[in-house]
């Protein structure tokens, strides 16, 4: 999907209030989360390269809150969105 902020997917399909935006920066796929219930999140947190996410996710394993970074930051979904966007140009 795409809106004025860019291409996105729902990292938690049951929660449409959270979107994960993706883009390619200098050849690297980057992610940025948006949450309608936390409008400041977009401004406070910039684009994060997948390499940093992969490194940080090693520390989570199975967090107490049930957050799975590998699921939220879905490289397959990101690649598909970026590919789709490039075909539309």
Question: In the chain, how many domains are there?
Answer: 1
Tell me the pLDDT of the chain (89 aa) as tens digits. Answer: 999 999 999 999 999 999 999 999 999 999 999 999 998 999 999 999 999 998 887 776 655 566 777 788 999 999 999 999 888 86
Count of alpha carbons within 13 angstroms of residue 81, beta-carbon side: 22
Name the residue range of residue 74's domain: 2-88
Cut 0.85: pTM above it:
yes
């Amino acid at each position: 999907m795409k809106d004025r902020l860019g291409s996105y997917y729902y990292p938690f399909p049951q929660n449409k209030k959270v979107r994960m935006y993706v883009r390619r920066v200098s050849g690297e796929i980057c992610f940025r989360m948006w949450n309608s219930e936390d409008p400041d999140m977009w401004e406070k947190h910039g684009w994060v390269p997948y390499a940093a996410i992969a490194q940080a996710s090693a520390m989570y394993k199975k967090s107490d809150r049930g957050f799975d970074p590998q699921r939220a930051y879905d490289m397959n979904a990101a690649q598909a969105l970026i590919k789709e966007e490039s075909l539309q140009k």
